[in-house]
Chain A
Amino acid sequence: TQLLEQSPQFLSIQEGENLTVYCNSSSVFSSLQWYRQEPGEGPVLLVTVVTGGEVKKLKRLTFQFGDARKDSSLHITAAQPGDTGLYLCAGEGGIIQGAQKLVFGQGTRLTINP
């Protein structure tokens, strides 16, 4: 069974600080996706990383896929209150007849205090 562990599960910091969220597994994934979920809404895809060692930037968010494609990190620079939300990593175990089977981590609930 493929499992993804996210850490920390909860993080509360002040506006302007930097933070990193980690997503780790003992399994290799075809890709690693990061989602953000607001209360009462579904997760929204932020980024997909596919190649081992890949780094992608989305404004103040930097995503990295581990060399062995077993782990990933999300780094936020100068966090803002608008970054508050539940961040979920999801590993793609493969594509079965067109269906991507994603395994989700348990999420990191991030709160940025003004």
Chain B
Amino acid sequence: DTAVSQTPKYLVTQMGNDKSIKCEQNLGHDTMYWYKQDSKKFLKIMFSYNNKELIINETVPNRFSPKSPDKAHLNLHINSLELGDSAVYFCASSQASGGHYGYTFGSGTRLTVV
């Protein structure tokens, strides 16, 4: 059983399109995240949800909209895709309640905007 699963694995789309990436975790974690990894492998936080509530919202264009229907799912919708959005997007989850437990990452979605 995959702990954090993302779909799709690869996404190639044209500029201006709207696309969604889905994420599900079966670990029972309360907190989920979206990170963006650029071509130099630098990982930067985008959003975090705790039990369906938005907690962290970094400086991300409002074309990106996360949605958490329940605490096991965190989806990312991107409107009007731009070339600069090309990157690998990682979903992750962590146990809350103050412990330094670290993240469990999904295997990533490689988004290519052409």
Contact = CB atoms under 8 A, between A and B. Distances in A.
Interface residues of A, number: 29
28 contacts: A31-B100, A33-B100, A35-B105, A37-B41, A42-B105, A42-B106, A42-B108, A45-B102, A45-B103, A45-B104, A48-B101, A48-B102, A86-B41, A88-B41, A98-B30, A98-B98, A99-B31, A99-B33, A99-B50, A99-B56, A99-B96, A100-B94, A100-B100, A100-B102, A100-B103, A101-B45, A102-B45, A104-B42
B41 A106 contact: yes
Interface stretch (A11-19, A56-64, A71-79, A89-97): A89-97
B75 interface: no
Contacts of A97: 50, 53, 55
Q: In terms of DSSP, what is the predominant structure of the interface of chain A?
A: strand
A50 interface: yes
B106 A96 contact: no
Given A42-B90, A106-B41, A107-B42, A96 B55 contact: yes
A7 interface: no
Nearest to A46: B102
Nearest to A33: B102
A43 interface: yes
A100 B31 contact: yes
The 4 closest A-B pairs by CB, nearest first: A42-B105, A98-B96, A31-B100, A99-B48
Chain B contact-residue range equals 20 to 34
Contacts of B55: 96-99
A101 B100 contact: no
B41 A98 contact: no
A43 B93 CA distance: 12
